[in-house]
């Protein structure tokens, strides 16, 4: 035990600093920044570990650092780069258990690796505490002196990093940046918890300019994890949209991009006037477009194939007259079986809403689309591409993963076509459908190891999304200027986060004023549509140009 405790001391330090070494190579840091990222944390953690002879207690007092290190290594394995972001912590509280189970099953190797790395130190901590193991005074004094020297070198590197330009402790110095992100996550969670108070007085003062005696039905479909690159309508070389491609009344946007690659931010931006430029402040004050439609005299419904996630999505859904989360209905089903419900299970609920024959109707469908695990997102009759029988998500299985993913797009194609057919069959009604996905997905593209979405730094695959519009023949005949405008604008650069809400308003003839922050130049149905350079909302909720972060 005499020699082992000293080995355990240095093993503990090295494993805690492993993320620092990796991040110094994966992140875009200057030489001074990379040295700072190693020397300063190494010196401070080394010094803290050398202050007390009760090393077992020191290990457990630094348990948060062990947790951060393990979490960071898992994310580096998943995304290849970037520190633990604010959104990573928020995803922990806005992701349901079934999604977690599906994901963890495909991350088993790296989870085993971090267990092997960090459990020994925790075990040593318990043993040392129980056996009252102490580090010698001579050993501690020696290590205090060495660690103080390393800390001083780290501070010099820090000064050089700041003098060299773009460097900030809260962005670049691990684990200080992670601690700052934890603070931001708690701050946002607290603000979200007060949403009912901060948004209580929000009004759109909305009214409709369409005839009051004409039946109107508008369907807004929010997809999940669908990336534009795999849509036949948008140039993909596989027939993933066989039904939509057979129609001649679909407007499809080839250059549509989301301003976020996380569901808990992208969907609220789609369903409200908020976008990347004002998300950080205004999301806590606004209500969704559902409230505007209600103010304009519409009956409203929100039908979801997702689970409650304690985010703005839930708050917005509850604004509707009818709110149904179909996965929450069967209390006897297991979490995983409920998570496997296909989006087509929303159709009977859609039929029930349409059968009410309200004069003015808005229906929002929130689908589960192409979210991993892909095999659970489509029925057998949509399995066009085989083999798709992967057992784990790895680069070697990419062909099977792509086949399964493409089958989810086929299922989405069927759902959208079925929705359009229902709207089209209602005689005499003005009807319209607007669809886009919240974000896209990485699937080991171009030989990379990147998979899934919500990484702190996105790829184009994660933000390039499909967007389509459909207008009934009667609507196009009555509003030819609207139809002509969308025909022109659909080929322009489109930010879905900026355009979805004002486009829904213009399609339905809804005008808003009051304290609603609508950007009418963002509507794809407008004669005055103005494209804007594509933005991305960082995990610090700062809008940056997309090209600057790729």
Of 414, 264, 243, 256, residue with least CA distance to 343? 414
The predicted structure's pLDDT at residue 110: 87
In 305-429, the DSSP E strands lie at 322-325, 360-366
The predicted structure's pLDDT at residue 109: 83
Domain spanning 207-549: which CATH class is it, in words? alpha beta
Name the token pair of 436.
Answer: 């886009």
The predicted structure's pLDDT at residue 333: 61
Strands 299-304 and 360-366: parallel
Name the token pair of 88.
Answer: 């990573």
User: Does 350 have pLDDT greater than 60?
Assistant: yes
The predicted structure's pLDDT at residue 517: 61
The predicted structure's pLDDT at residue 232: 98
The predicted structure's pLDDT at residue 130: 94
Q: Which of 162-176, 326-340, 363-377, 530-544 has the lowest mean pLDDT?
A: 326-340
The predicted structure's pLDDT at residue 263: 95
**3-class state of residue 246 by DSSP:** helix
User: Does 336 have pLDDT greater than 80?
Assistant: no
Of 491, 489, 475, residue with least CA distance to 527? 489
Other Cβ atoms less than 10 A from the Cβ of 123: the count is 12
Residue 545 phi, psi (nearest 5): -70, 140
pLDDT digits (tens, 9 = 90+) for 492-505: 999 999 999 999 99
Query: What residues does 252 pair with on adjacent strands?
Result: 468
Q: Which of 40-49, 443-452, 492-501 has the lowest mean pLDDT?
A: 443-452
The predicted structure's pLDDT at residue 94: 66
Q: Are 440 and 226 in contact (CB under 8 A)?
A: yes
The predicted structure's pLDDT at residue 3: 86
Of 372, 334, 311, 461, residue with least CA distance to 104? 372
Under the banding of pLDDT at 50, 70 and 90, the label for residue 7 is very high
- Domain extents for the chain? 4-192, 207-549
User: Does 210 have pLDDT greater than 60?
Assistant: yes
Residue 482 phi, psi (nearest 5): -65, -45
Distance CA 174, CA 20 (A): 6
Name the token pair of 500.
Answer: 């979805």
pLDDT digits (tens, 9 = 90+) for 65-119: 999 999 999 888 878 888 988 888 887 666 665 555 555 566 778 889 999 999 9
Strands 543-545 and 535-537: antiparallel
Under the banding of pLDDT at 50, 70 and 90, the label for residue 323 is very high
Higher per-residue confidence, 163 vs 516? 163
The predicted structure's pLDDT at residue 264: 94
∠438-107-398 over CA atoms, to 5°? 70
DSSP state of 203: -
The predicted structure's pLDDT at residue 514: 63
pLDDT digits (tens, 9 = 90+) for 250-306: 999 999 999 999 999 999 999 999 999 999 999 999 999 999 999 999 999 999 999
Under the banding of pLDDT at 50, 70 and 90, the label for residue 527 is very high
- Overall size of the chain counted in residues: 550
The predicted structure's pLDDT at residue 340: 81
The predicted structure's pLDDT at residue 82: 85
Query: What residues does 417 pair with on adjacent strands?
Result: none
Cα 49 to Cα 11, 62, 175: the distances in Å are 12, 9, 16
By CB atoms closer than 10 A (0-12, 13-18, 19+), residue 442 is: buried
Residues 6+ apart with CB under 8 A from 430: 210, 214, 215, 216, 217, 472, 474, 475, 478
The predicted structure's pLDDT at residue 81: 82
The predicted structure's pLDDT at residue 104: 59
């Amino acid at each position: 035990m005499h020699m082992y405790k000293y080995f355990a001391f240095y093993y503990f330090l090295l494993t805690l600093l492993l993320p620092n070494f990796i991040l110094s190579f994966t992140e875009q840091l200057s030489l001074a920044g990379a040295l700072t990222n190693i020397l300063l944390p190494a010196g401070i953690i080394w010094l803290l570990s050398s202050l007390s002879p009760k090393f077992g207690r020191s290990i457990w007092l630094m348990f948060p650092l062990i947790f951060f290190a393990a979490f960071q290594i898992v994310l580096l394995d998943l995304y290849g780069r970037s520190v633990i972001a604010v959104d990573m912590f928020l995803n922990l509280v806005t992701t349901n258990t079934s999604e977690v189970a599906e994901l963890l099953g495909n991350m088993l190797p790296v989870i085993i690796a971090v267990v092997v790395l960090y459990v020994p130190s925790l075990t040593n901590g318990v043993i040392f505490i129980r056996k009252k193991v102490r580090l010698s005074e001579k050993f501690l004094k020696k290590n205090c002196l060495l660690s103080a020297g390393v800390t001083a070198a780290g501070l010099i590197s820090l000064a050089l990093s700041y003098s060299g330009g773009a460097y900030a402790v809260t962005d670049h110095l691990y684990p200080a940046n992670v601690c700052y992100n934890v603070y931001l996550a708690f701050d946002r969670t607290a603000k979200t918890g007060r949403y009912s108070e901060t948004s209580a007085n929000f009004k759109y003062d909305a009214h409709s300019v369409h005839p009051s005696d004409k039946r109107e039905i508008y369907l807004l479909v929010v997809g999940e994890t669908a990336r534009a690159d795999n849509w036949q309508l948008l140039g993909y070389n596989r027939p993933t949209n066989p039904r939509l491609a057979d129609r001649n009344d679909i407007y499809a946007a080839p250059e549509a991009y989301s301003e976020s690659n996380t569901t808990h931010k992208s969907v609220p931006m789609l369903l409200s006037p908020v976008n990347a430029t004002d998300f950080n402040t205004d999301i806590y004050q606004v209500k969704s477009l559902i409230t505007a439609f209600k103010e304009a005299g519409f009956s409203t419904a929100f039908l979801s194939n997702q689970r409650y996630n304690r985010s703005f999505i839930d708050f917005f859904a509850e604004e509707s007259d009818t709110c149904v989360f179909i996965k929450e209905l069967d209390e006897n089903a297991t979490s995983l079986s409920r998570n496997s419900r296909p989006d087509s299970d929303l159709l009977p609920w859609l039929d029930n809403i349409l059968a009410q024959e309200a004069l003015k109707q808005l229906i929002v469908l929130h689908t589960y689309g192409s979210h991993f695990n892909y095999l659970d997102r489509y029925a057998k009759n949509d399995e066009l591409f085989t083999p798709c029988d992967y057992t784990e998500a790895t680069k070697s299985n990419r062909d099977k993963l792509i086949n399964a993913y493409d089958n989810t797009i086929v299922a989405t194609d069927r759902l959208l076509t079925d929705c359009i057919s229902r709207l089209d069959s209602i005689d005499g009604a003005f009807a319209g459908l607007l669809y886009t996905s919240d974000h896209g997905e990485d699937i080991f593209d171009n030989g990379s190891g990147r998979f899934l979405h919500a990484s702190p730094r996105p790829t184009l695959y994660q933000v390039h999304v499909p967007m389509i519009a459909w207008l009934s023949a009667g609507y196009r005949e009555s509003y030819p200027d609207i139809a002509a405008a969308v025909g022109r604008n659909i080929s322009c650069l489109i930010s879905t986060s900026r355009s979805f809400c004002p486009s829904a308003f213009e399609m339905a003839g809804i005008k808003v004023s009051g304290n609603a922050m609508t950007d009418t130049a963002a509507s794809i149905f407008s004669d005055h549509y103005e494209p804007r350079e594509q933005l991305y909302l960082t995990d610090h909720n700062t809008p940056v140009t997309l090209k600057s972060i790729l």
